Copies of this chain bind each other. A is one copy, B any other.
Amino acid sequence: MPSYKAPLQEYRFLLNDTFNMAQYAKLPGFADAPMDLVDQIFDEAAKLAEEVLQPLNMVGDQVGCKLENGVVTTPPGFKEAYKTLVDGGWPALVADPAYGGQGLPNTLGVLFNEMVSSANMAFGMYPGLSHGAYSALIHHGTDDLKDKYLPKLVTGEWTGTMNLTEPQCGTDLGLIRTKAVDLGDGSYKITGTKIFISAGEHDLAENILHLVLARIEGDTPGIKGISLFIVPKFLVKEDGTLGARNGVSCGALEHKMGIHGNATAVLNYDEAVGWMVGEREKGMRAMFTMMNEARLGVGLQGLSQSEVALQNAIAYAKDRLQGRSLTGPKEPGKSADPLLVHPDIRRMLLNAKSFNEGARALLVWTALHGDLSHASDDAAVRETGEDMMALLTPVVKGYLTDRGFANAVEAQQVFGGHGYIDEQGMGQFVRDARIAMIYEGANGVQALDLVGRKLAANGGRGVFAFFKLIDDFVANNKDAKLAAYTDALIAARKDLEAATMWFMENALENPDNAGAGSSDYMQLFGVTAVAYMWALMAKAALAQLATGKGDTAYYETKLKTARYYMDRVVPETATHLARVRVGAAPLMDFTAAEF
């Protein structure tokens, strides 16, 4: 049976030493979260993750969700665990106090979500999707809708879902066929079939609020004619109590590779009553508002599986005796040395360790910029916050889930044959991590969003601001001890800039030149951004070591991990750049028949 310990020391290092959260103490949201309170919150969250959610992870995988007579039963223990989550007030953590939330910044929310997801990714999707519905409503709903639905969504008594996909369309939502008919009283009748609806139907909460993309009859064809509706499973009466069952039902649950503990539903809408959220024909805009946040949420799922898989692989590598060190026996009194003596085992563990710590920093850094884009009283900080959040979101989603999956695979590899056996649980991490590369915009779509939309936005303001952040950091930290880290960062940044310039010079004449290099560019961006985080963390660790106080062994390890990332991971930027520069021809010269 796998285990999980929340990496609380890592969180403190990031929030205190690296990003100095105290500097934002006067901003809204941040003011409610002094670090001693955050420590307490995280200690409690860690208990929830380790003691309540993680023990249900394997049973969730093995039993899964069942659909019988239209009723979905979640795996044994999920209902009780969800009640514990609600009783603890956790769904309210980052929600608006006006609707009962605790109003904490998302910078802290992503770390809470990482713990939940590491412990039990399939479970974490129930409150995760609710938060997506919350975001859509709070940003675009009328006051009436907000007053009616948000309080119970914030407590977690009700959950939410996002309904985009239909059988004929996933990425290309312009093809949506679900239709809405205006009933003239402010409500609509929604009819159609939605598929792949995570947390779409279940027994955890008394009501489910479905956020549904549909087209009002006669509205503009294609993506420009889509509107967004809220369709509750049970209609809600004026007094807030539940009324009749609405015309939405679960037609089937998908059998899928992983996240068995989450009900992936086919939802049939048959003249279900709904209310418009946001403006008519502006449904996609409403979706995009919440997309950055949702994509960070999926990015952290990649990290979360990499983290829990690594923890278990480390334990196995220390425990399992097999073979002898290449440099002579390290445990001569035992039948063999532990796996950990082997450099190639360490390579796999350190790939994940150096990624996890750097990727987590990038996640926090990005969420922090998202928070600052709203909370800062400085217009320049708000603009940078918005730019960095927009630019880095596809990188966090794409790079963290691609590498998170790869790390879960390597962690499984450490177990040898035992990693392939269900009872060890390593295969579940791989299978669960796999979906994060696909949903909420497949990673190829993230790469195109980065290259086609985010690079060009505001005349490239975001990417140039990102380069300037790195340049300023390097210029302001010409410290001999830091040079080992900044040198690699400079090299990565140079490759990223060269790739960026190549697109600027070649993508206008042929957009396929951008498409052909987009995935490599996203990886290149990810490596560079994480290298930047490692430079920030190395600086923080050196500063702490200079005080001679605290857990010096921890900071020494941090520097070694930084070095590993710089020495062993960063060199791949050269390959990504080379591939970007190849351009479209070697891909597009094939006719369809040649495949």
0 or 1 for each of A129-152: is its CB under 8 Å from B? (1 = yes) = 000000000000000000000000
A88, CB-defined interface residue at 8 Å: no
0 or 1 for each of A246-276: is its CB under 8 Å from B? (1 = yes) = 0000000011111000000000000000000
Q: Is the CB of A438 within 8 A of B413?
A: yes
State A326–B453 Cα separation when bound (angstroms).
13
Closest residue on chain B to residue A353 by CB atoms = B595
A 337-378 contacts with B by CB, 8 A: 338, 340, 342-350, 353
Q: Is the CB of A342 within 8 A of B172?
A: no
Choice from B171, B322, B353 contacting A323 with Cβ under 8 Å: B171
A 464-491 contacts with B by CB, 8 A: none
Given known pairs A560-B594, A571-B578, A582-B568, the reply for A519 and B420 (CB within 8 Å) is: no
Given known pairs A323-B171, A444-B413, A595-B317, the reply for A587 and B427 (CB within 8 Å) is: no
0 or 1 for each of A429-465: is its CB under 8 Å from B? (1 = yes) = 0110011011100111001100010000000000000
State A247–B592 Cα separation when bound (angstroms).
59
A512, CB-defined interface residue at 8 Å: yes
Choice from B165, B557, B593, B594 contacting A417 with Cβ under 8 Å: B165
Q: Is the CB of A256 within 8 A of B421?
A: yes
Choice from B421, B434, B574, B589 contacting A420 with Cβ under 8 Å: B434
Chain A: interface residue total (CB-CB under 8 A): 95
Given known pairs A317-B595, A350-B590, A575-B575, the reply for A512 and B343 (CB within 8 Å) is: yes
A584, CB-defined interface residue at 8 Å: yes
Residues of B within 8 A of A448 (CB): 344
Residues of B within 8 A of A314 (CB): 595
Closest residue on chain B to residue A516 by CB atoms = B343
Q: Is the CB of B444 within 8 A of A345?
A: yes
Choice from B170, B318, B322, B438 contacting A171 with Cβ under 8 Å: B322
Residues of B within 8 A of A417 (CB): 165, 170, 195-196, 438-439
A299, chain B: closest CB distance, angstroms: 17
Closest residue on chain B to residue A338 by CB atoms = B592
Q: Is the CB of A346 within 8 A of B255?
A: no
Closest residue on chain B to residue A221 by CB atoms = B335
State A172–B335 Cα separation when bound (angstroms).
10
0 or 1 for each of A310-348: is its CB under 8 Å from B? (1 = yes) = 000010011001110011000000011010101111111
A588, CB-defined interface residue at 8 Å: yes
Q: Is the CB of B434 within 8 A of A588?
A: no
Residues of B within 8 A of A335 (CB): 168, 175
A10, CB-defined interface residue at 8 Å: no
List the number of copies, as a whole number: 2
A108, chain B: closest CB distance, angstroms: 27
A77, CB-defined interface residue at 8 Å: no
State A317–B258 Cα separation when bound (angstroms).
24
Choice from B165, B175, B344 contacting A444 with Cβ under 8 Å: B344
Q: Is the interface of A mostly helix, strand, loop or mixed?
A: helix
A514, CB-defined interface residue at 8 Å: yes
Q: Is the CB of B257 within 8 A of A422?
A: yes
A 543-595 contacts with B by CB, 8 A: 553, 557, 560, 563-564, 567-568, 571-572, 574-575, 578-579, 582, 584, 586-590, 592-595
A407, chain B: closest CB distance, angstroms: 14
A169, CB-defined interface residue at 8 Å: yes
Given known pairs A256-B422, A326-B514, A574-B574, the reply for A595 and B349 (CB within 8 Å) is: yes
A394, CB-defined interface residue at 8 Å: no
Q: Is the CB of B416 within 8 A of A171?
A: yes
Q: Is the CB of A438 within 8 A of B419?
A: yes
A262, chain B: closest CB distance, angstroms: 12
A147, chain B: closest CB distance, angstroms: 35
Q: Is the CB of B434 within 8 A of A416?
A: no
Choice from B347, B434, B567 contacting A430 with Cβ under 8 Å: B434
Known: A257-B422, A568-B586, A574-B575. 13 other contacts (CB 8 A): A165-B417, A170-B322, A170-B417, A196-B417, A254-B421, A343-B587, A344-B447, A353-B595, A405-B409, A413-B444, A560-B586, A567-B586, A568-B579
Chain A interface (Cβ < 8 Å from any Cβ of B):
165, 168-172, 174-175, 195-196, 254-258, 314, 317-318, 321-323, 326-327, 335-336, 338, 340, 342-350, 353, 405, 409, 412-413, 416-423, 427, 430-431, 434-435, 437-439, 442-444, 447-448, 452, 510-512, 514-516, 518-519, 553, 557, 560, 563-564, 567-568, 571-572, 574-575, 578-579, 582, 584, 586-590, 592-595
In the assembled complex, 26 residue pairs joining A and B whose CB atoms fall closer than 8 Å, in A order, are: A168-B321, A171-B322, A172-B322, A175-B321, A254-B421, A255-B421, A255-B423, A257-B420, A314-B595, A318-B592, A318-B595, A326-B452, A327-B510, A338-B592, A343-B516, A344-B516, A346-B588, A347-B519, A412-B434, A413-B438, A417-B438, A557-B594, A560-B589, A560-B590, A568-B579, A572-B572
Q: What are the 10 A-B residue pairs with the smallest beta carbon separation, nearest first?
A: A343-B515, A571-B578, A326-B511, A257-B427, A343-B516, A344-B444, A255-B422, A346-B587, A557-B594, A172-B322
